[in-house]
Amino acid sequence: MEILWFLIAMALLVGILVPFVNRRRSGLQQVDPRSPDAANPDDYGFLRQEELDIRLPGPDQDLLDVLDVVQRTQSWQAASQLLAGTPAEGEVRWQRVQAFAGAASLELAQKPGVGGAWLRTWRAEAPKDAGGAQVHAEFLVQQAWRSSSVGEDDFRIILEEARGVCEEAALLAPGDPVPYIVELAVARGLGYPHDRFDQVWAKVIDRAPEHMGAHLAALHYWCEKWHGSREEADHFATTAAARAPQGSLLAALPLFAVHEHIPDLVLVQGFYQSAVVTKAVEGALYAVHSARPGDPMLAHVRHLLIGFLVRSERWAEAMNQLIWVDGHVGALPWTLSDDPAAEYTVYRNLAVAGYEANGGSPVTLRR
């Protein structure tokens, strides 16, 4: 009889915990679903989940075309030409370096020992190509983080190699901030002391003082889970936002700082309606509304805003961001999930359902 009562108790416990765990995994435990299946995202022209592109946060057709050529032919020349024609100081070059490195890293993961051969050939045949050196350095950083769960020794060895390639890349293109932005990730992994990190950061700022991608990389270093604290990360973000010129997306940096320090399990009722979150969201909304047209980091900010706006049940504002970015989901917060497209789709469905539950419709939504 005791065994029977034990089994009944375990069944009840599982019945309680499984729904909680499912909500925890989806990251939506503070959001009221509002019957998301009742609304139809297709009515708004949104793409189906299987059609969403998880590689990029927003469109870059030139990059996608070149990636297709490189991966299909295993020839590096098209990638080199694209980077050579991309301005060094802008956000686009950094994003493209990340994309090429990510593609090679993914190929290697899928085909160990042979995947990403085009990058190895690129470095062997054009060792003085600055673009190739930058992609190689970023590739090593991504490989290090992939191997971080395997062993600390491998992680540090790969990052040390990445640091050497960063130095080489910097010599090949003295005015380019990208090698130093890559080194910011190396600094985080190897645990640079603050003064040494500041030296790298100064080189970035000298070359690209408003570089949003660089600020995000530096913010990671200052976060509590790495080498700083919540206060230091907040100070870094708010200082950058305060100094940001009109039209700069750096005004949205405090929202990224809040995101970095959200606990795994939010227990405070109304956390997403709190003053701290609301202030950061309003700052990001201001940044988006005043951003320079075509800013390549705009999609990054919009994606993160969607996550916060949905959790805050600000349905109409979430929809106003969704109509700009739908189709590409390679950005925070979705990329933290094993299935970014599925995670994004859940939030999108919630936004549509909440919007329609409060009187919205495809007719009332305007881009």
C-beta neighbour count of 154 within 10 angstroms: 14
Domain definitions of the chain by residue range: 26-59+229-367, 61-214
291: phi then psi, degrees, rounded to nearest 5: -65, 150
C-beta neighbour count of 60 within 10 angstroms: 19
Is 300 within 8 Å of 272 (Cβ atoms)?
no
Per-residue pLDDT tens digits for 297-355: 999 999 999 999 999 999 999 999 999 999 999 999 999 998 999 999 999 999 999 99
Per-residue pLDDT tens digits for 32-85: 444 444 567 888 999 999 999 998 999 999 999 999 999 999 999 999 999 999
pLDDT of residue 150: 61
Token reading at 216:
């995000």
The whole-number average pLDDT for the span 1-5 is 40
Per-residue pLDDT tens digits for 147-181: 766 677 889 999 999 999 999 999 999 999 999 99
Helices (H), the chain: 2-26, 61-73, 77-84, 91-110, 117-125, 130-147, 152-172, 178-190, 194-207, 212-222, 230-243, 253-260, 275-290, 298-311, 315-325, 340-357
Q: Which fold has domain 61-214?
A: 1.25.40
The whole-number average pLDDT for the span 223-251 is 90
90: phi then psi, degrees, rounded to nearest 5: -90, 170
Q: Measured at the alpha carbon of residue 68, what is the angle toward residues 64 and 69, in degrees to the nearest 5?
A: 120
Q: How far is CA 131 from CA 80, 138, 216, 257, 360, in A?
A: 6, 11, 22, 30, 47
pLDDT of residue 90: 87
Per-residue pLDDT tens digits for 253-278: 999 999 998 875 565 678 899 999 99
Q: How many CA atoms lie within 13 A of 261 on its CB side?
A: 21
Is 53 within 8 Å of 334 (Cβ atoms)?
no
